[in-house]
Structure formats: structure tokens, C-alpha cells
């Protein structure tokens, strides 16, 4: 892609589009909590530490984009409230979060080690994010990849 990069617009870049949805401050931390099993507003607020009005706006965006689903519940003696659960579309953001976590574990963790351990439930071994190809090769790194315009590439104006 090196030589022709500047010929193409990034208007329909999938990284840009994903960040337009989940790239706002706090949003990925809210999703992190959802993966940890958090469902309720007060618990998101406490664990993420963001202002309540911001949390409310971010949850709204996540629901509008079908990443979290808003489900009513009522506890005895209280008014109806809502909880938030990841949709199938939302669950597919897990590799993005784990990739960011893995980089932080490696380059920004405390001397004691990572705050969170992610393992394969069945065998107990550590989980990692890998780049692999449909031909069965991998793990791959940057030098192994070829990056080219795809079927949706658009010329810059």
C-alpha cells in the first residue's frame, strides 16, 4: 500500500468508522465492564469512574449502535430500571479490547504484573490475541502482512 496510499480516501476506513462509534473517551472502558459482567448503571459508574451524565450519553450511543441492549427490570419496591447487556455485535469487540489489554500488560503494567488474567475456561491456559491467515499460518507479525486497497477502496477527491 505504501506508494498509492495517498491516492485513497480514509472516509470509509473501517478503523475510523469503528472509532467513530467506540472511540470516545470512556466508551471502551464501559464495554470492558460489560465484558466483566457489569449490567447496571450505578456499577458502571463506580467501576469506570466517569461522570454520570457522560456515562448516560455513552450508554445511549452504545444502545443506538446495537452494541449494548437495554433491558428493563424491577426490584420489589423500586421503580422500573434498565440493565445493559452486550449484543452479538458488541461481543465481537472483545478482540479489540483484549488486544489493547495485551499491549498494556506488556508495556504499561505494574511490576507485580497485569491486573487481569484472561484464560481459556476449559484448559486454564493464558489467552492471547494472534494474527493468523485463512491458510492456517501464524501467529503473524507486521512484517508478514501485505496491506492493499480492498474492494471498497475509494479514490481521494
Q: Does 83 bind a copy of itself (CB under 8 A)?
A: no
Which of 56, 64, 71, 119 forms a contact with a copy of itself (CB under 8 A)?
119
Which of 52, 60, 70, 137 forms a contact with a copy of itself (CB under 8 A)?
137
Compute how many other C-beta atoms are within 10 angstroms of the C-beta atom of residue 31.
23
Q: Does 155 bind a copy of itself (CB under 8 A)?
A: no
Quote the Cα angle for 102-38-114, to 5°: 25
Q: 80 or 88, CB closer to a copy of itself?
A: 88
Q: Minimal CA–CA distance to 63: which of 30, 96, 98?
A: 30
Crossing angle of helices 94-107/27-35, nearest 10°?
100
Site for a copy of itself, residues 37 to 66, rule: CB under 8 A: 37-38, 43, 46-49
Give the containing element (helix H, strand E) for 135: none
Which of 30, 35, 54, 56 forms a contact with a copy of itself (CB under 8 A)?
35
Site for a copy of itself, residues 90 to 109, rule: CB under 8 A: 91-109
Cell of 22: 467506540
Q: DSSP assignment, residue 125?
A: P
CB of 61 to a copy of itself, least distance (A): 14
Q: DSSP assignment, residue 144?
A: G
Which of 73, 129, 155, 157 forms a contact with a copy of itself (CB under 8 A)?
129
Amino acid at each position: 500500500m505504501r506508494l498509492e496510499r495517498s491516492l485513497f480516501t480514509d472516509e470509509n476506513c473501517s478503523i475510523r468508522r469503528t472509532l467513530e462509534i467506540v472511540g470516545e473517551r470512556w466508551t471502551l472502558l464501559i464495554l470492558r465492564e460489560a465484558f466483566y459482567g457489569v449490567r447496571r448503571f450505578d456499577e458502571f459508574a463506580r467501576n469506570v469512574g466517569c461522570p454520570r451524565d457522560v456515562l448516560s450519553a455513552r450508554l445511549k450511543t452504545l444502545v443506538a449502535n446495537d452494541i449494548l441492549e437495554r433491558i428493563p427490570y424491577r426490584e420489589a419496591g423500586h421503580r422500573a430500571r434498565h440493565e445493559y447487556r452486550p449484543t452479538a455485535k458488541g461481543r465481537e469487540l472483545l478482540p479489540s479490547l483484549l488486544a489493547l489489554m495485551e499491549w498494556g500488560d506488556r508495556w504499561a503494567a505494574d511490576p507485580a504484573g497485569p491486573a487481569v488474567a484472561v484464560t481459556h475456561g476449559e484448559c486454564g491456559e493464558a489467552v492471547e490475541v494472534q494474527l493468523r491467515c485463512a491458510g492456517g499460518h501464524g501467529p503473524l507479525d507486521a512484517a508478514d502482512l501485505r496491506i492493499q486497497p480492498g474492494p471498497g477502496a475509494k479514490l481521494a477527491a
